[in-house]
Structure 1
Amino acid sequence: MRPRTGEVLHFSEDPAITRFEPHVAPTAGRSEPYVWAVDSARSPDYWFPRDCPRAMAWATETSTRPDRDRVLGPGGGDRVHAIEYGWLEAMRTVKLYAYRLPAAAFRPIGTPVPNAHVSTRAVTPLGPAEPVGDLLRLHEECGIQLRVLNNLWPFWDGVVSTTLGFSGIRLRNAKPRH
């Protein structure tokens, strides 16, 4: 599930949203009220249940071969997502939806590379929510490794010290560090 040209996506477990109002999320690191969305490159970051902690890594132009081989594995593709075993059933059963939103209403946010798109105005979806479908199959079809681990922290700690691109979402919901 990716946006078409001129669109960004918002993923939600709520299939009945008719208008997105800017707000400050309780866990936001920013105080400005926004409507949040993602582009095609960052859509896979949200192919998860909302509260599922996940650690992700991907190859970039500056990633070294040793880092790629160590984290992604030889011949392992260009991207890996990791979750904990306790979230596997939710990955299998969650009903996740995508809302297509007009990209023109948004601006990129994040440095040094944008990681999302935001709007300071209310945004009406371009149509009804679309079911995302089987999240495991979606990962497979897109060639994204999905690793299921006992604990995310060793993977995360290893990834952040590499030349790979990485992102961690909802890590506060992960098991405690050992």
Structure 2
Amino acid sequence: MLPDPGELLHFSEDPSIRSFVPHVAATALQPEAYVWTVDGLNSPCYWFPRQCPRVCSWGDEPRVHAVEERWLSTVRATTLWAYRFDARAFAPFGDRPHAHVATTPVEPLGPPVAVGDLVGLHERHGIELRVLPELEPYFTQVRERGLEFSGIRMGNAGIGPVGPFPTRR
């Protein structure tokens, strides 16, 4: 699920959103209110349940996304929806834009589209989906190798979809 030319996407587990109003996200590092969207390069980083921790990397090597084993069943079971937006309503965010933001309310171009099988979507787009016992060691390797990357919801790493898991010995 990638945006068409001139479009940006927002992914959600909620198919009932009619209008997107700027807000300050709970994980925000800035005080401004935004509506967030992503472009074609970054859309695959959001082919996951919202709270799922993941490491996405690309660059000189084929694109790789990694999740923890404890999240795989949730990835498989989640229904994700893609909302399409006119890119002209958004501006790139930051120096190396990983996202695009709007500061006024925006409406999607149409109803949301079900993304479908999230694991299969990775495969169809040639993205390796690694399933690991823990993400932190892999995240360290990606940063040390100097690849382009995104670590999303890493605060949830080591915590499963229904609560903390016991530490392995």
TM-score, L = length of structure 2: 0.92
| Cα drift, residue 110 of structure 1 | 2.5
Instruction: Provide Cα deviations, 1:147-174, integer angstroms capped at 9, x if missing partner.
Output: 0001000000111112210110000000
SS at match of 2:123: helix
Q: Which residue of 1 aligns with 2:13?
A: 13
Q: Which residue of 2 aligns with 1:141?
A: 124
- Of 64, 79, 90, which aligns to 2:74? 90
- State the one-letter code of the partner of 1:159: V
- Of 64, 88, 91, which aligns to 1:104? 88
SS at match of 1:55: strand
Instruction: Provide Cα deviations, 1:94-119, integer angstroms capped at 9, x if missing partner.
Output: 010000011000001122x2100000
- State the one-letter code of the partner of 2:19: R
The residue correspondences of 1:153-164 to structure 2 (distance < 5 A) are: 153-164=136-147
| Cα drift, residue 27 of structure 1 | 1.0
TM-score, L = length of structure 1: 0.87
Runs of 4+ off more than 4 Å: none
- State the one-letter code of the partner of 1:99: Y
CA distance in 1, matches of 2:108, 2:149: 29
CA distance in 2, matches of 1:84, 1:98: 23
1:49 aligns with 2:49: yes
CA distance in 1, matches of 2:20, 2:45: 20
- State the one-letter code of the partner of 2:124: E
Instruction: Provide Cα deviations, 1:36-85, integer angstroms capped at 9, x if missing partner.
Output: 000111000000001000011111xxx4xxxx4xxxxxxxxx10000001
CA distance in 2, matches of 1:47, 1:142: 12
CA distance in 2, matches of 1:20, 1:157: 35
Q: CA RMSD in A?
A: 1.4
- Of 132, 155, 158, which aligns to 2:115? 132
**Count of paired positions:** 161
CA distance in 2, matches of 1:15, 1:57: 28
CA distance in 2, matches of 1:114, 1:23: 19
Specify every segment of 5 or more residues in structure 1 that has no aligned partner in the other structure, as ranges.
69-77
| Cα drift, residue 26 of structure 1 | 1.2
